[in-house]
């Protein structure tokens, strides 16, 4: 096998491990990730899995980065080219609802970030720090377009973008809980009504 083919195969194997780790993490938490469980699920040896990540913590971090990439592809990238401000913000919010409502192949247990934020919020260390950083990055996307919307007169001049982003983020944490814990099919519509109040037409 050529070095190039060998590297490509190693990359595909790593991607398979990460995809399965994201799925397990969304259902059982990142602490539910074990080398033995992953090895059995994807038909590898424990040594083979360890060879890609080395430690459980590195596997947890890889799962978070894999989930972040999926969130970007499904939620942010489809709307990134839209006009900044309320136009892009509303499209982003709708894509986020659809992501939580329908993305069950990758996240059978719901949003991995919502689960990990509860699982690690009282702990220290790299996993907690990574979860916090990724959630803050998502909130900054909201704040950026909210500031533009205020500057363009699409929202009232006295709107506080940081406060409004805090409230919008809370809606999505609640939506994930309503879908996962209560299995409430009305939850997406409730979030859309709340967003209509928070982001009224100019």
- Model pLDDT, residue 37: 87
8 Å CB contact between 7 and 15: no
What CA–CA distance (Å, rounded) separates 159 from 48?
A: 53
- Model pLDDT, residue 6: 76
pLDDT in tens, 129-175: 999 999 999 999 999 999 999 999 999 999 999 999 999 999 999 99
pLDDT in tens, 25-47: 999 999 998 888 888 999 998 88
Residue with tokens 């409730």: 190
Q: DSSP per residue over 90-146, as a string?
A: HHHHHHHHHHHHH-TTT-TTS-HHHHHHHHHTT--SHHHHHHHHHHHHHHHHHHHHH
Domain residue ranges in the chain: 3-198
Distances (CA, A) of 193 to 20, 22, 176, 189: 35, 31, 16, 6
Rounded to a whole number of angstroms, the CA Rg of the chain reads: 19
- Domain 3-198 CATH class label: mainly alpha
Largest CA-CA distance found in the chain, in angstroms, rounded: 64
Full-model pTM: 0.89
């Amino acid at each position: 096998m050529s070095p190039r083919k060998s590297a490509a195969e190693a990359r595909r194997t790593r991607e398979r491990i990460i995809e399965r780790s994201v799925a397990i993490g969304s259902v059982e938490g990142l602490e539910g990730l074990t080398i033995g469980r992953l090895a059995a699920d994807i038909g590898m040896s424990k040594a083979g899995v360890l060879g890609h990540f080395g430690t459980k913590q590195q596997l947890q971090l890889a799962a978070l980065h894999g989930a972040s990439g999926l969130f970007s592809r499904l939620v942010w990238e489809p709307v990134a080219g839209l006009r900044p401000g309320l136009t892009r913000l509303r499209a982003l919010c709708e894509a986020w609802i659809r992501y939580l409502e329908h993305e069950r192949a990758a996240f059978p247990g719901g949003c991995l970030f919502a689960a990990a934020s509860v699982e690690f919020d009282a702990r220290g260390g790299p996993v907690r720090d990574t979860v916090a950083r990724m959630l803050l990055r998502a909130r900054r996307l909201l704040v950026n377009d909210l500031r533009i919307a205020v500057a363009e007169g699409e929202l009232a001049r006295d709107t506080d973008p940081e406060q409004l982003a805090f409230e919008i983020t809370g809606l999505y944490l609640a939506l994930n809980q309503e879908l996962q814990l209560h299995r409430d099919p009305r939850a997406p519509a409730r979030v859309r009504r709340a967003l209509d109040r928070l982001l009224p037409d100019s």
